[in-house]
Amino acid sequence: MIKKLFFILILLVTISANGQELSGTLTVFHAGSLSVPFKQIAEQFIKLHPKVEVLLEAAGSRDCARKISDMKRPCDVFGSADYLVIDNMLIPEHADWNIKFATNEMCIVYHDASRRSKEITADNWFEILADPEIAYGRANPNADPCGYRAVLTMQLAEKHYNRPGLASQLINRDSCVMRPKETELLALLESNTIDYIFLYRSVAEQHQLKYLVLPDQINLKNAGLAELYKTSSTELSGKNPGEVVVQHGEPMVYGVTIPRSSPNPTAAIAFVKFMLSADQGMKLIEQLGQPSAIPSICETFDKLPEELKPFALPKK
C-alpha cells in the first residue's frame, strides 16, 4: 500500500513537472504575419498539453493592442509584429514586459498575372507602382505595423533612389488599396484585384508568392542601418483619442508579452517558453522565414517571469 501511494506521489510530481496539469482556454492575439507560425506552434503545444484549448486571433498588431487596452478583451499572449507596439501602447498600464524574438524585412509581393511583373527589378519597382494602370495594396498604418513600415520604406526609397516626391506620389495613388492587416491583401492579389503588395518576406515565402528583394537601405532589415532608418517617420494615432505619435523607422523586430489581465497566466508562460525555445517554437518560426532575435536586450528584464529570463538580456 505504501509503495502504491509512493508511486502515485511520484507520478503526480512527474506530471506537474512536465506541465501536464495545464488546462483551460489560452487566448493568443497575434499579428497577421504570425498566423502560419503560431498555428503550427499551437498545434505542437497542444500535443504536449492536451487539456489546453488554444484560441488564435489574428489582427493588425496595433488593433490587437487596442483590444487589450480599450476593449478589455481577455488575452493571455500577444505576439506583435513590432515590439514598439507593446512598449508604446501596453506598458506599463496593461503589460509589464516585452521580449524581442524575431526579425523580418519588407519586400514587394506579386504573382505571374501581376501587370509588368516580367520587368520589375530593384531599380524600377517604384516606377511600376507609380504607373496609373497598376494597383497595389498596403496595410492601414494605424492598424498594422506593416502599414506604417510600407510608408517608411517609400520614404527611404525616395532618398535611396534620389527621387524627390516619390513617397507622396506612391502614398496618394488612387489605385492604392488599404486593409486593416497585411494578410487580408493576399486574397485581393490572388483574385487579380491588385498587382503588388508591400508585405513581409516571411509571409511571401509561407504562401509561395513571388517577391522582389529590396535593398537593405530601405527594407528595414539591417540592424546596422538603424541610424539611416531613423531618418524616416510618419504620424500615427496615439493611445488616447485625438492623440498623434511619430513613428520613426527602425530595424524590424517582433515582440511578445503576457498582458497583466491574462486569465490563464500559468499556461501563458508555458506557451511563451515553448514558443521561444530554440528547438521548439523558434525552430518553426525560423523555418518559416523569420530569423531569431533571441536573446535581445530587454528594457523590462527585471519584470520578466523567471522561466522567460533565459530568452532575454538585461539592459546594461
**To which H or E segment does residue 46 belong?**
helix 35-48
Three-class DSSP category at 87: helix
User: What confidence category does residue 18 fall into, taking pLDDT thresholds of 50, 70 and 90?
Assistant: very low
CATH architecture of 15-104+252-314: 3-Layer(aba) Sandwich (3.40)
CATH 3.40.190.10 positions along the chain are: 15-104+252-314, 106-248
Specify the pLDDT at position 5: 43
Band of residue 3 on the pLDDT scale cut at 50, 70, 90: very low
User: For the segment 186-224, what is each residue's pLDDT rounded down to a tens digit?
Assistant: 999 999 999 999 999 999 999 999 999 999 999 999 999
User: How confident is the model at residue 258, as a pLDDT?
Assistant: 98
13 has pLDDT over 80: no
User: Given the DSSP bridges, would you call strands 106-110 and 210-213 parallel, antiparallel or unpaired?
Assistant: antiparallel
Q: State the chain's mean pLDDT as an integer.
A: 92
For 270-297, write each residue's pLDDT tens digit.
999 999 999 999 999 999 999 999 999 9
Rounded CA gap, 137 and 81, in Å?
A: 18
What is the number of other CB atoms lying within 10 angstroms of the CB of residue 43?
Answer: 11
- Is 310 in a helix, a strand, or coil? helix
Does domain 106-248 bear CATH number 3.40.50.150?
no
pLDDT per position as a tens digit, 209-268: 999 999 999 999 999 999 999 999 999 988 888 889 999 999 999 999 999 999 999 999
pLDDT of residue 241: 82
